[in-house]
Structure 1
Amino acid sequence: MPRRALLILSSIALASSCQGVRSLARAEGSSSATDSAGHTDDAAAAPAAAATALAPYNNAKQRYTLMVPSTWDVKGKAGADVLFEDPSRRSTSVGVTVNPVKVASIQQFGELGQVGNKLLEAERKKESTLGVVLLGSSQRVGTSGATLYEYEYELDSTRGRKRILNTVTIFNSRLYILNASYKCDKEGCGEEAERRVGLLREVAATFDVM
């Protein structure tokens, strides 16, 4: 595996906890997003809506698409192509990074389990990490024929406990990484977290390259 590609893969984990987000204008040009719901950041927050409508976000330049809640803010983040953040629960976000690579497919990084092991190992090496557990992994084939690897794990760190979802693929010599993050309450990732993480799973399942 090329060293640059391995470094980029390791950055998946780093992307899940980086700070310093700044506001930007809504998507321009070929990128678009429309319609949906929000959550709340305190423990006394109102329950999440039973169903959240999703609307398309398409980036023709970088050649990917996904569905997102339109009420989420579009933010700027170092290294990210786009970041969506729930305005009423700022710790809930979905971001996409795109980087050039010299390999033709995600399988050249490794099989599903091998790439997952690298991802978790990158998390474990961070000084802030107290523990990390893989909750599930799967793979699917997108409309372009590219294979997408999907991972969900729980991260316990000095910054709190999070549920993280990652979707990784390679298409047209570009490495695409979708990172979705939900910060659990102090008590842990309970029933409420499951409902909210369910929305992130819906969003991640719509991610595709074109």
Structure 2
Amino acid sequence: MEIAENAALVVVDVQKGFDEAGFWGPRNNPGADDNIAALVDVWQATGRPVVFVRHDSPKPQSPLRPEYEGNDLKEYVQERRGKGTGLELFVTKTVNSAFLGTPDLGAWLAENGISQFVLAGIQTNMCVETTARMGGNLGYDVLVAYDATYTFDLEGPFGWRRSADEVAQASAVSLHGGGFARVVTTKEIVDATA
């Protein structure tokens, strides 16, 4: 695997509100935050561009709604903002895809000649997956650091309920098997940046 010198790391919705277990329910991958932090550190140390994304939920009861503390980025992410030597962008959005936020992520990537990006963040099957799918559709080389993402148990139609692990695995299979993105591990990505 090759990670381009100007590959962007897109850190999706790593916000305090996702720690409210009473709202979201059981989650998977307890090591995700450490892996997200490791990726940001590597990107900043190598001068690569980092994009921080925040979800501003329009739903009044959401822990991610603006002007509620859950909307804030988690401390370890906030502390790293502005610390790298490479380009940095902060995007806010109200929908699942970081490509539909402000400022325009696609325009920024194009402006800076970036054709490859790595995704990490929350939730695997929601905003990470949607951003990966759009990126793949738009022709970007997209990598998803699977173990630097997490999600929650979910109920769908017909009373079907899936655990967070099952939901995350289904998302990874759809992305990778469908050719939208390559789903890899944090270690594989870190090793490829050396």
Higher strand share: 1
TM-score, structure 1 normalization: 0.21
Higher relative contact order (CA 8 A, sep 6+): 2
Higher helix share: 2
Higher Cα radius of gyration: 1
